[in-house]
Amino acid sequence: MWTIDDGALEPIAVGAGILGTGGGGNPYLGKLHARRCIAAGAVVAVVDPEEVPDDALVVSVGGMGAPTVGVERVMQGEEELVALRALERHIGRRCTHLVAGEIGGGNALGPIAVAAQTGLPLVDADAMGRAFPELQMDTFSIYGVRPTPAVLADPHGRVALFDGIADAATLERYARAVTIQMGGAAGFAFPALTGAELKRTAIPRTMALAKAVGDAVLTARARLADPVAAALGATGGRRLFAGKVADARRRLVGGFARGELRIEGTGADAGRTLRIDLQNEYLVARTDEGEILAVVPDLICLVDADAAEPITTEVARYGLRVVVLGIPAPAALKTPEALAVVGPAAFGYQDLPFAPLPGRYGGDAGGRHAAG
């Protein structure tokens, strides 16, 4: 077990911002919210998945919606807590542990805030090892955990309860429609799973990985070393491209931020152009010559060229000088059953095969599942 206090929030926000591949909600806003919840003296206990009893009741909490809405409309702050309490009332049992649905961006900080609000322990794990835009794209669903009952909550304390839905893709359609009606962003609590299910399906020790990545970047900055190299060393990733954002196009479609970035190369990449497609997260990085540098589910991450500060999809803009990082996905996302849900074809790239980046995700925190 280890603990999260105010001093741990900054490195977790930096690391989760990088691992979020541009999505998961704004990590800066998530950090401010978690800091407010911890300010009263709360210390969040973080437990390893293997320490969770098999009969525990673990609930995943976080935020659902488009990242652009999450920045433009600041949340009230108790949406996830309200959703959790409504879920507990429905199933007639109190939650014993919390877990992040995704380690990316603000959705890594939301569970910390709820843990501070409730005093519940937080499991050092998540269900993506990054961020993804849709509910069925997590290892809980991929490996057989029932997605409902599930609850969404809006900033006014109103909740929507979903039950009797056996597959997460259907829940995604219903919950996305409700989230749009809630203003484009909502807090969620689901799934509720046993400790045994958690240990079978979750990607372990990703909260610790986010902190380690952030610690490496912040230490490099303090020592006037290369923070981008530090981030790569902590994640097992590689530099894919460096340049200046020449164009950033985003539009809100069906509750998602969709669009593309165009980056003009500098230094060793001068004279080349990189295009990155996005749907809340960065999905495909390809050069103007048609070379695919990385593709989902591998992590495509944008960071500031000088400080390695993560650049999420909603803040990417013209003129930013960036480095594009490629980080191998956790093994749990590279099995045949996972690639059917999170591979290129799941995002409409039917003719684009998944060619995995070499290397291991953060020392292979997701090694529970063998890669296919």
Model confidence at 73, in pLDDT bands (50, 70, 90)? Answer: low
Compute the average pLDDT of residues 48-70.
88
- DSSP assignment of 238-272 equals EEEEEEEEEEEEEEEETTEEEEEEEEEE-GGGTT-
Compute the average pLDDT of residues 260-289.
94
Model confidence at 367, in pLDDT bands (50, 70, 90)? Answer: very low
Helix (H, G, I), strand (E, B) or coil at 162: strand
* Residue-level pLDDT at 12: 97
Compute the average pLDDT of residues 155-176.
96
Q: Cα-flanking dihedrals φ and ψ of residue 342, to 5°?
A: -120, 5
Cβ within 8 Å of residue 326, ≥6 positions away: 237, 238, 239, 240, 285, 293, 294, 298, 299, 300, 301, 357
**Contact in structure between 292 and 355 (CB atoms under 8 Å):** yes
Q: Indicate whether 354 pLDDT > 90.
A: yes
The per-type count for the chain, helices as H runs and strands as E runs, is 11, 17
Q: Could you report the per-residue pLDDT of 28-42, keeping only the tens digit for each?
A: 888 999 999 998 778
Measured CA to CA, the distance from residue 213 to residue 204 in angstroms comes to 15
Compute the average pLDDT of residues 134-141.
95
Least confident of 44-48, 221-225, 255-259: 255-259
Helix (H, G, I), strand (E, B) or coil at 344: helix
**Contact in structure between 278 and 289 (CB atoms under 8 Å):** no
Report the CATH number of the 226-363 domain: 2.40.390.10
Measured CA to CA, the distance from residue 295 to residue 287 in angstroms comes to 12
- The CATH fold assigned to 2-204 is CV3147-like fold (3.40.1610)
Measured CA to CA, the distance from residue 288 to residue 297 in angstroms comes to 21
Q: Indicate whether 363 pLDDT > 70.
A: no
**Contact in structure between 187 and 59 (CB atoms under 8 Å):** no
- The single-letter DSSP state of residue 2 is E
Compute the average pLDDT of residues 126-138.
95
Model confidence at 69, in pLDDT bands (50, 70, 90)? Answer: low
Going by C-alpha positions, the residue among 301, 294, 304 that lies closest to residue 358 is: 294
* Residue-level pLDDT at 250: 74
Q: Which residue has the higher pLDDT, 43 or 99?
A: 99
| Single-letter amino acid code for the residue at 252 | L
Model confidence at 369, in pLDDT bands (50, 70, 90)? Answer: very low
Q: Residues of CATH 3.40.1610.10 domain(s) within the chain?
A: 2-204
Cβ within 8 Å of residue 278, ≥6 positions away: 22, 250, 257, 258, 259, 260, 261, 313
Helix (H, G, I), strand (E, B) or coil at 204: strand
Q: Could you report the per-residue pLDDT of 293-330, keeping only the tens digit for each?
A: 999 999 999 999 999 999 998 888 999 999 999 999 99
Q: Residues of CATH 2.40.390.10 domain(s) within the chain?
A: 226-363
pTM for this model (two decimals): 0.92
* Residue-level pLDDT at 74: 64
Q: Indicate whether 96 pLDDT > 70.
A: yes
How many Cβ atoms sit within 10 Å of the Cβ of residue 266? 17
* Average pLDDT over the chain, rounded to an integer: 92
Compute the average pLDDT of residues 201-219.
97
